[in-house]
C-alpha cells in the first residue's frame, strides 16, 4: 500500500507531538509499506519522519529540484531526505517556478498513491491540503486524522 500524506503547516496544526502521534497511530495500522512525503514543514515532515521510524519506506516528493526547508525545519528536512528510499523532483528546476508547482507535486503524489492520509481541518475550504484532498476524492480512499483523538 502506498500512502500519500497531506496536511497543514505548523501554524495551522496542533502541537507537533499530537500530530506525530496521530500520524504514527494511523500509519501503524494502515498496512502501508510506502509513504509519499511532500516535504513541507508541519504534517508532511512529521509524518514522513514517523513513517521512517516505523520502518516504512519513504518517497520524498519535492515540488522542484531546488526546494528546501526554512531554517527551523532544515535539519528535519535533511534527515527525511537523506533516509528516503527515493527522491522525486516533480519539476526539474533549481529555482522556484511559481505557486503552480505545489499543485503539480500534490497531483503527482495522489496519482502515485493507493491511499491518502490527510491532516485537514474540516472547516478549511481552501489551500494546498484542501486542494489535494479534493483532487484525491473519488480516486483513492482518504483518511483524515485531524479529528482523531489526541491519544
Give the Cα separation of 130 and 125 in Å (integer): 6
What pLDDT digit, counting tens, does each position of 117-132 carry? 999 999 999 999 999 9
Give the Cα separation of 59 and 87 in Å (integer): 6
Position 76 in a domain: yes
% pLDDT > 70, the chain: 99
What local confidence, expressed as pLDDT, does residue 148 receive?
81
Q: Which three cell numbers stand for residue 33?
A: 509499506
Position 151 in a domain: no
Give the Cα separation of 17 and 150 in Å (integer): 9
Answer yes or no: is pLDDT of 150 > 70: no
CA-angle at 115, arms to 106 and 113, nearest 5°: 55
Position 149 in a domain: no
Half-sphere exposure at residue 13, Cβ-oriented, CA atoms within 13 angstroms:
27
Tally of domains in the chain: 1
> Which CATH number characterizes residue 38's domain?
3.40.50.450
User: Can you list the positions of beta strands (E) in the chain?
Assistant: 2-7, 34-37, 57-64, 86-91, 115-119, 142-144
Give the Cα separation of 135 and 137 in Å (integer): 6
With residue 25 as reference, give the H or E element that holds it: helix 16-28
What local confidence, expressed as pLDDT, does residue 151 receive?
63
Distances (CA, A) of 118 to 36, 90, 130: 12, 20, 9
What pLDDT digit, counting tens, does each position of 62-87 carry? 999 999 999 999 999 999 999 999 99
Against a cut of 0.85, is the pTM above it?
Answer: yes
For range 128-139, the mean pLDDT: 97
pLDDT band at 48 (very low <50, low <70, confident <90, very high): very high
Give the Cα separation of 131 and 144 in Å (integer): 14
Position 150 in a domain: no
pLDDT band at 53 (very low <50, low <70, confident <90, very high): very high
Could you tell me the residue range of the domain that residue 88 belongs to?
A: 2-144
What pLDDT digit, counting tens, does each position of 8-35 carry? 998 999 999 999 999 999 999 899 999 9
Amino acid at each position: 500500500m502506498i500512502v500519500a500524506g497531506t496536511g497543514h503547516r505548523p501554524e495551522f496544526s496542533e502541537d507537533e507531538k499530537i500530530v506525530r502521534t496521530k500520524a504514527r497511530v494511523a500509519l501503524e495500522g494502515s498496512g502501508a509499506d510506502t509513504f509519499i512525503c511532500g516535504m513541507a514543514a508541519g504534517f508532511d515532515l512529521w509524518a514522513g519522519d514517523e513513517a521512517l521510524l516505523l520502518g516504512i519506506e519513504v518517497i520524498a516528493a519535492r515540488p522542484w529540484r531546488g526546494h528546501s526547508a526554512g531554517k527551523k525545519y532544515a535539519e528535519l528536512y535533511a534527515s527525511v531526505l537523506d533516509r528516503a528510499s527515493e527522491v522525486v523532483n516533480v519539476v526539474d528546476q533549481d529555482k522556484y517556478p511559481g505557486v503552480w508547482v505545489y499543485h503539480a507535486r500534490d497531483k503527482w503524489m495522489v496519482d502515485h498513491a493507493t491511499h491518502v492520509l490527510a491532516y485537514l481541518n474540516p472547516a478549511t475550504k481552501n489551500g494546498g491540503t484542501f486542494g489535494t484532498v479534493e483532487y484525491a476524492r473519488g480516486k483513492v480512499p482518504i483518511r483524515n486524522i485531524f479529528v482523531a483523538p489526541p491519544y
